[in-house]
């Protein structure tokens, strides 16, 4: 029996190996000779060994993915690149997302090798510099004696509530040695670190808080972090911005322990918690909605006290849901009337207005909803006992436009990338393609993608 099992396992292994080899062979057979030539050339390009004069490479000049060969070749040779090479690639392939990516890689390389003059020249061409790039930029400004602008950016980068990449260390050493790390900047980082739940980092930043006034504020914030309800005992001497930040630190800490604890703290703060500040309003909304999602009718009174002026539209919507659970129709009507006009007119709340007992506008509202292509439109149709109006607006295809789009270099690149199973890159190509397109053109492009 054991011998038979071993033989069966051996045969199964051979069978599966054969199937795997056959599947791989079939997949390769599906790739055209041009695609195989591209894949071979791409491997050489990534190694920096691509010879553009090679006949096999030259034959790919008109292949849709030829820009990827040139890009990989240049990126593998960043040490030998000069601005003219980058400019030539941009001029040759201006519609490719690779153009901006090469500029980014080249500028990043200049920063790594501390070529500050060239780095500053090219930095302005970067659309969305990451943290490392920003640190390099601030360091370059210091090295070029542009200390005012450098200090301003360095303070912003240093005072965040998280650890920054190691690549920023040289900048921060310059920042400190130049005397730009002030006590107020350090206090700002203490508060940001506590706000981000980084107790250890707040302790590190505290070492640089030299002013007695700033130290008192930092110590108070750290005490509130440890015992959130201490925020209720804070006296004067804080700016409105500092006070709001410390209050949010307290609420966040209470929330991590129990959302109801955060709710009670907010209720005790009352009008001290300034809802004209966006961050404060967002914090109140988060706490209130989290409690409302418990769907406990007993919370309705506290939630009403939390936002008596109905400043948070999202929280007001959740209070309506709680009222619906209790079938408190008067409260439903009152709260819907407190919503912003655009929300009042939305299909959801129009439907529930129609559901109010003895609403004389019921049929009129439902009839209006019936024409809307939405969940509540279909519910309204069901209530009226009428057929659904789907409001279908079919796309009328412009054959000429489809032909033009099919002939575009973007489409041909996307098609090739998709055939090579490079869906992430093809999505990047598609996003670059539709930049600046009209809605009609985007719909036609989407139709081609659906094909």
Reported pTM: 0.81
pLDDT of residue 389: 66
Cβ-based burial of 72 (10 A; exposed 0-12, middle 13-18, buried ≥19): buried
Q: Please give the pLDDT value at position 377.
A: 86
Asked if residue 266 lies in contact with residue 273, where contact means CB atoms within 8 angstroms, the answer is yes
What crossing angle do the helices spanning 116-123 and 97-112 adopt, rounded to 10°? Answer: 150
Which structure tokens are listed for 204?
């590190």
Rounded to 5 degrees, φ, ψ at 354 are -65, -25
Q: Residue 383 has what pLDDT?
A: 84
pLDDT at 145: 95
Angstrom distance (rounded) from CA 190 to CA 221 = 8
Q: Where are the beta strands (DSSP E) in 14-141?
A: none
Rounded Cα distance, 358 and 153, in Å: 62
List, as own/partner pairs, every contact residues 293-300 make where C-beta atoms lie below 8 angstroms and the sequence separation is at least 24, other chains included: 293/318, 295/321, 295/322, 295/325, 297/322, 297/325, 297/326, 300/326
Distance separating alpha carbons of residues 420 and 240, to the nearest angstrom: 57
Q: Which residues, in sequence order, are CB contacts of 58 under 8 Å at separation 6+?
A: 52
pLDDT of the residue at 372:
81
Distance CA 144, CA 198 (A): 34
Q: Which residue has the tokens 């057979």?
A: 29
CB under 8 A, 24+ apart: contacts of 139-148: 139/170, 139/171, 139/174, 140/111, 140/116, 142/171, 142/174, 142/175, 142/178, 143/114, 143/116, 144/116, 144/117, 144/120, 147/178, 147/180
CA distance 149 to 113: 22
Length of the chain: 451
pLDDT < 50 positions in the chain: 1-29
Listed in sequence order, the residues at least 6 apart from 190 whose beta carbon sits closer than 8 Å to its beta carbon are 202, 205, 206, 209, 218, 221, 222
What's the DSSP call for residue 270? Answer: G
Tell me if 156 sits within 8 A of 123, measured CB to CB: no
DSSP state of 310: -
Q: Cα 96–99–100 angle (5° rounding)?
A: 115
Say which residue the tokens 């909304």 belong to. Answer: 285
pLDDT given for residue 23 in this prediction:
41
């Amino acid at each position: 029996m054991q011998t038979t099992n071993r033989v069966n396992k051996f045969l199964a292994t051979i069978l599966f190996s054969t199937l795997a080899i056959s599947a791989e062979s079939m997949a390769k057979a599906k790739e055209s000779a041009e695609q195989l030539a591209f894949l071979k050339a791409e491997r050489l390009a990534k190694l920096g060994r691509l010879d553009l004069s090679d006949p096999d490479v030259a034959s790919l000049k008109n292949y849709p993915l030829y820009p990827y060969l040139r890009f990989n070749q240049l990126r593998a040779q960043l040490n030998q690149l000069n601005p003219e090479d980058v400019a030539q690639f941009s001029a040759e392939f201006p519609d490719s997302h690779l153009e901006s990516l090469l500029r980014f890689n080249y500028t990043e390389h200049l920063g790594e090798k501390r070529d500050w003059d060239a780095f500053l020249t090219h930095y302005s061409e970067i659309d969305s510099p990451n943290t490392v790039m920003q640190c390099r930029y601030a360091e370059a400004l210091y090295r070029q004696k542009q200390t005012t602008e450098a200090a301003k950016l360095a303070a912003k980068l240093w005072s965040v509530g998280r650890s920054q990449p190691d690549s920023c260390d040289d900048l921060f050493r310059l920042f400190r040695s130049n005397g730009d790390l002030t006590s107020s900047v350090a206090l700002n980082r203490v508060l940001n670190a506590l706000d981000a739940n980084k107790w250890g980092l707040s302790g590190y930043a505290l070492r640089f808080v030299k002013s007695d006034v700033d130290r008192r504020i930092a110590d108070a914030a750290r005490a509130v972090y440890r015992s959130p309800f201490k925020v209720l005992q804070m006296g004067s001497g804080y700016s409105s911005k500092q006070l709001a930040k410390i209050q949010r630190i307290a609420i966040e800490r209470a929330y991590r322990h129990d959302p109801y604890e955060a709710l009670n703290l907010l209720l005790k703060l009352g009008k001290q918690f300034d809802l004209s500040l966006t961050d404060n309003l967002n914090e109140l909304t988060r706490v209130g909605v989290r409690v409302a999602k418990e769907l406990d009718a007993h919370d309705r009174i506290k939630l009403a006290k939390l936002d008596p002026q109905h400043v948070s539209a999202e929280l007001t919507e959740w209070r309506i849901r709680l009222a619906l659970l209790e079938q408190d129709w008067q409260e439903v009507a009152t709260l819907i009337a407190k919503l912003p006009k655009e929300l009042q007119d939305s299909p959801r709340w129009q439907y529930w207005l129609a559901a109010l007992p003895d609403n004389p506008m019921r049929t009129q509202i439902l009839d209006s909803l019936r024409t809307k292509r939405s969940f509540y439109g279909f519910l309204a149709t069901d209530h009226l006992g009428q057929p659904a109006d789907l409001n279908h607006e079919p796309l009328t295809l412009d054959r000429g436009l489809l032909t033009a789009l099919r002939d575009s270099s973007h489409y041909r690149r996307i098609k090739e990338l998709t055939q090579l199973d490079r869906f992430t890159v093809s999505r990047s190509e598609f996003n670059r393609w539709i930049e600046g397109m009209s809605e009609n053109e985007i719909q036609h492009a989407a139709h081609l993608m659906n094909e």
